[in-house]
C-alpha cells in the first residue's frame, strides 16, 4: 500500500534528544545522539543488530538511564522527573514489543482489558467493552476476541500487541522490530497497519527496524544509526543516495538479492 500523505506539525516536537550517550562497561553504544520526533510523524531508526536501536527507545521511555545528554518526551525531561511522573508519562506512550508481550494465560479480550483496568480505576464495564471492540476492529481482528494467544498466528499476535497499546489512546508509539520473524505477506500487513494507526489515531511514532521494506513503507523520515551516531537523516531516497560503504550494503542486501 502506498503511504498516504500525513499532516506533520514540524513546529511541535514531541520527542527531543540532545547529546545522548550510553555505554555498557567499556562499549560505547550511543556516542552523542541528537533526535527530533515531530507531531504526526513516523520516524524510522535503521541500523545493524547491536547498533543501539532498542537501547535508544529504552532510554526514551525511561527504562534505562543515559550517561550523558537530555531526553524530553511530551515536554517532560525523563531523566529528571519522579517515578510517579514517569509512570504517568508512559501511559501516553504505546510500546509494541518485538515478541508482542501478550499474557499466554489470558484471552485476547482479557489481554486488551488489562491495561485499561490497571490504569483507569473508575472505568465502567460498558466503556471497557467498547474500547476492546474498537481497537480489535482497528487492527482487523474482531473475530479473535475470545481466543488464546497460542491460537493466533505470529502476525495476529503482533496486531493484538499493537491493539493493546492503542487501547489507552497513546500520543506516541514505539515499535521495536515490528516485522521481525514474519513472512513477507504478513510484513506488508503490519506495515500497512502502522500507517493506518498513524492516520486513525494521529500518533507520532519511532519505528526500530533493520527491514528496509518496512522503513520505506512506513517512514516519513529515516535515521541511519551507525557507529553510535546518526550518520544520515532524511527521506528514504535521501538516506540511500550515497556510496558510503557502511550504508550501501543495507540497500543492496534488501533490494538487489
Structural domains present in the chain: 1-92+171-239 (3.40.50.300), 100-169 (no CATH)
Q: What is the mean pLDDT of the chain?
A: 91
> Is-contact 218 191, C-beta < 8 A?
yes
Q: Collapsing DSSP states into helix, strand and coil, what is residue 256?
A: coil
Has residue 145 got a pLDDT over 90?
A: yes
d(CA 187, CA 234): 23
d(CA 189, CA 194): 9
How would residue 253 be classed by pLDDT, with cut points 50, 70 and 90? low
Has residue 75 got a pLDDT over 90?
A: yes
d(CA 170, CA 94): 5
Has residue 162 got a pLDDT over 60?
A: yes
**Greater model confidence, 149 or 250:** 149
Helical (H) or strand (E) element with 19: strand 9-24
Amino acid at each position: 500500500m502506498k503511504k498516504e500523505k500525513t499532516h506533520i506539525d514540524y513546529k511541535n516536537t514531541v520527542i527531543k534528544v540532545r547529546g545522548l550517550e550510553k555505554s555498557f562497561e567499556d562499549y560505547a553504544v550511543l556516542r552523542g545522539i541528537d533526535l527530533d520526533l515531530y507531531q504526526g510523524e513516523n520516524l524510522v531508526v535503521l541500523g545493524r543488530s547491536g547498533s543501539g536501536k532498542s537501547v535508544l527507545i529504552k532510554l526514551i521511555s525511561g527504562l534505562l538511564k543515559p550517561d550523558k545528554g537530555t531526553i524530553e518526551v511530551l515536554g517532560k525531561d525523563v531523566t529528571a522527573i519522579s517515578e510517579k511522573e514517569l509512570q504517568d508519562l508512559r501511559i501516553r506512550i504505546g510500546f509494541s514489543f518485538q515478541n508482542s508481550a501478550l499474557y499466554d494465560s489470558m484471552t485476547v479480550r482479557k489481554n486488551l482489558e488489562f491495561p485499561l483496568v490497571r490504569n483507569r480505576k473508575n472505568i465502567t464495564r460498558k466503556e471497557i467493552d467498547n474500547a476492546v471492540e474498537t481497537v480489535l476492529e482497528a487492527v482487523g481482528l474482531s473475530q479473535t476476541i475470545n481466543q488464546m494467544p497460542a491460537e493466533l498466528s505470529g502476525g495476529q499476535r503482533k496486531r493484538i500487541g499493537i491493539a493493546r497499546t492503542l487501547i489507552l489512546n497513546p500520543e506516541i508509539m514505539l515499535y521495536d522490530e515490528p516485522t521481525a520473524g514474519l513472512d513477507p505477506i504478513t510484513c506488508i500487513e503490519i506495515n500497512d497497519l502502522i500507517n493506518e494507526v498513524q492516520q486513525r489515531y494521529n500518533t507520532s511514532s519511532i519505528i526500530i527496524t533493520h527491514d528496509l521494506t518496512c522503513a520505506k513503507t512506513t517512514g516519513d523520515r529515516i535515521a541511519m544509526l551507525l557507529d553510535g551516531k546518526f550518520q544520515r537523516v532524511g527521506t528514504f531516497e535521501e538516506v540511500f543516495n550515497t556510496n558510503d560503504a557502511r550504508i550501501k550494503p543495507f540497500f543492496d542486501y534488501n533490494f538487489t538479492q
